[in-house]
A and B are shown apart, each in its own frame.
Chain A
């Protein structure tokens, strides 16, 4: 297209020179009255003729421009273009750039250049930039949460603010029940579960099955069922877009966009854009769903592997604490269990152990040991035999993974607790007496899982009221850190700490030891750490009331 901006040659007198020009040309005097116009101009301003006032017949942008130019130019003699650039605006569905040339008599010749195409291109570019920035913003917002509901909320909010008057997300459901999330404008997000027939809305069941979207113009807005139109929506539905939300290989739901009849209907462009958005929202939702599925699987598995929360059993207090080495791990190679005795005077069996290695393999071996010991409970009156059988069950010709553990059988006898303690290759438990002195349990034995024959010695210990026996793994004593950075926490520090724990309840002993070891390590790396305290409580404790409620962390 020719967009030349050269002024007409010669003086304003040579009117014939532009009469047949391809550009619309209008000559108006200082007062804004049309003096003359050419054929092209008549075609644009069909109602305009000589003698008309510009203000009455042309769009205001042109009339205003004329007033500005003539005011500026009054009294000056110049045939050059005014200092400010050309004006521009719409005439009907076209747009023009208007160039003024001032005559000596105050007349102004307006040359109009059609720039509709350029303007459209610019608008398209601007729109494209806006969309790109919206999609980037949307991706940001969508990626922030791995929670499915939260993700649907964000999707609804973004869609209702940027793409439509209202947005509704229908998630794949079980049977006829579908979780639905909706949002109107920048309003609040509403979540509900609806009992619906997806075929009652044209395009919806297709979208939920992952078929390509049905074009908006095929969907009769009047056919939108009541349940899909949010209450807060102001006015009747004028147009509808239904887009599938792609999942990871399976359909992830449908995004329904609604515009009121007062608003322009969805253009084909808008539909394409909605699909670009839906692709991002679908990916985010799929990631969130996958995360929630995996984390629920892990949580289920963990529940089996996580150490239990302990409490008082038959007059003996048990407390345990565990901290896995990896920042993100919750299970590892250390474990503990307490198997309550059947009756008042029956022994309960506490087990604390350490399986060599880390991660899943260690966790699997841990599970095997815990299960086997559970099965061997009837034989708990003979620790050595129990350990021999456990050892046999664990022997494996392919590897030499082993476990070390401590068994402690405890029964309350009037004012003390009688303990039978056996170490199987594990650091011997420590006992804190009422006067704060600390002694080591006289037990030793071989680790389990590698040797064909194993040995062990069992010792008997009586715990008076306020005295505790601490079972621990070497993750505590070998924790590196401290003020100088690389010192081991060591057994002497553990003994010193324990010396202060005389008279404390079991859970306080555990917490104290855990806290000192954790503070010792600081932000450094550490191995798994597990501790179990067995304590003879004061006779006046009312803990029976809280039995079963001792768990301080949710399962």
Chain B
């Protein structure tokens, strides 16, 4: 179909300043492309190491986002947290903001003060009561 607005996905990474990494996303961030974002970010954080203080995800050219896309953004947030790097979600289109609002993740992802304690590693505590198998 040629009528789809973004029939492809593309990702560029760039060190705009020594301490600032920018990832620009083009096209749909979905179950097919979400791994690309996570892998690219993981690699760059590892390679560029200590110097990076800020990661900017630039969504200006973003197409559709599905739940796996949101999962990838949440993973990006978690990776940045672990590396003590600030994650910024720049140029968010309205549909992304709507999704973040409905899922209750907008504050978490955009407010630098919100919920910054990292998720405890290892198995989480089981809830009280029986856990049916």
A453 touches B115 (CB 8 A): yes
Q: A375-B132, A450-B74 are in contact. Are A425 and B115 (CB under 8 A)?
A: no
- Beyond contacts A371-B133, A375-B132: 19 other A-B pairs, Cβ-Cβ < 8 A, are A356-B67, A356-B68, A356-B71, A357-B67, A371-B131, A379-B129, A389-B128, A395-B119, A395-B120, A397-B121, A397-B122, A400-B74, A404-B102, A426-B102, A446-B108, A447-B105, A452-B118, A454-B104, A486-B1
Residue of B nearest to A403 (CB): B67
B129 touches A376 (CB 8 A): yes
A392 touches B127 (CB 8 A): yes
Q: A393-B127, A425-B105, A447-B105 are in contact. Are A371 and B132 (CB under 8 A)?
A: yes
Which of chain A's residues have a CB closer than 8 A to the CB of B1? 485-486
Asked if B16 lies at the interface with its beta carbon under 8 angstroms from chain A, I say no
Which of chain B's residues have a CB closer than 8 A to the CB of A354? 67
Among B67, B70, B71, B104, the residue within 8 A (CB) of A444 is B104
B119 touches A397 (CB 8 A): yes
Residue of A nearest to B70 (CB): A356
Asked if A244 lies at the interface with its beta carbon under 8 angstroms from chain B, I say no
Q: A393-B131, A397-B119, A400-B71 are in contact. Are A427 and B124 (CB under 8 A)?
A: no
Which of chain B's residues have a CB closer than 8 A to the CB of A374? 132
Encoded as 1 (CB less than 8 Å from any A CB) or 0, chain B from 1 to 16 comes to 1011000000000000
Which of chain A's residues have a CB closer than 8 A to the CB of B66? 356, 527
A397 touches B120 (CB 8 A): yes
CB contacts between A and B, total, < 8 Å: 106
- Minimum distance in angstroms from A448 CB to a CB of chain B: 10
A402 touches B132 (CB 8 A): no
Asked if A399 lies at the interface with its beta carbon under 8 angstroms from chain B, I say yes
- Minimum distance in angstroms from A80 CB to a CB of chain B: 78
- Minimum distance in angstroms from B32 CB to a CB of chain A: 10
Measured between alpha carbons, how far is A393 from B78 in the docked complex, in Å?
A: 18
A372 touches B131 (CB 8 A): yes
Asked if B113 lies at the interface with its beta carbon under 8 angstroms from chain A, I say no
Residue of A nearest to B127 (CB): A389
Residue of A nearest to B126 (CB): A393
Asked if B47 lies at the interface with its beta carbon under 8 angstroms from chain A, I say no
**Which residues in A have some Cβ–Cβ distance to B below 8 Å?**
333, 354-358, 371-372, 374-376, 378-379, 389-390, 392-397, 399-402, 404, 424-427, 444-447, 450-456, 485-486, 527
Which of chain B's residues have a CB closer than 8 A to the CB of A376? 127, 129
A451 touches B105 (CB 8 A): yes
9 closest Cβ pairs, A-B complex = A446-B104, A356-B67, A425-B103, A389-B127, A400-B74, A400-B75, A395-B124, A371-B132, A447-B103
Q: A389-B127, A395-B119 are in contact. Are A358 and B31 (CB under 8 A)?
A: yes
B129 touches A375 (CB 8 A): yes
Asked if B46 lies at the interface with its beta carbon under 8 angstroms from chain A, I say no
A452 touches B129 (CB 8 A): no
Which of chain B's residues have a CB closer than 8 A to the CB of A356? 66-68, 70-71
A451 touches B108 (CB 8 A): yes
- Minimum distance in angstroms from A373 CB to a CB of chain B: 9
Measured between alpha carbons, how far is A395 from B122 in the docked complex, in Å?
A: 10
- Minimum distance in angstroms from A210 CB to a CB of chain B: 40
- A sample of 18 inter-chain contacts (CB < 8 A) reads A356-B66, A358-B31, A371-B131, A372-B132, A375-B132, A379-B129, A392-B125, A395-B120, A396-B124, A399-B71, A400-B72, A402-B70, A402-B74, A404-B102, A404-B103, A450-B74, A450-B119, A451-B104
Measured between alpha carbons, how far is A454 from B114 in the docked complex, in Å?
A: 11
Residue of B nearest to A424 (CB): B104
Measured between alpha carbons, how far is A3 from B117 in the docked complex, in Å?
A: 101
Among A355, A378, A425, the residue within 8 A (CB) of B102 is A425
Q: Name the interface residues of B56-106: CB closer than 8 Å to any CB of A.
A: 66-68, 70-72, 74-75, 78, 102-105
- Minimum distance in angstroms from B38 CB to a CB of chain A: 9
Residue of B nearest to A398 (CB): B121
B119 touches A357 (CB 8 A): no
Which of chain B's residues have a CB closer than 8 A to the CB of A404? 67, 102-103
Which of chain A's residues have a CB closer than 8 A to the CB of B108? 446, 451
Residue of A nearest to B72 (CB): A400
Interface centre among A374, A392, A450 (most CB of B within 10 A): A450
Which of chain B's residues have a CB closer than 8 A to the CB of A426? 102-103
Measured between alpha carbons, how far is A225 from B122 in the docked complex, in Å?
A: 67
Which of chain A's residues have a CB closer than 8 A to the CB of B130? 375
Interface centre among B75, B121, B132 (most CB of A within 10 A): B132
Residue of B nearest to A524 (CB): B1
Interface centre among B1, B78, B103 (most CB of A within 10 A): B103
Measured between alpha carbons, how far is A305 from B126 in the docked complex, in Å?
A: 22
Which of chain A's residues have a CB closer than 8 A to the CB of B117? 452
- Minimum distance in angstroms from A446 CB to a CB of chain B: 3
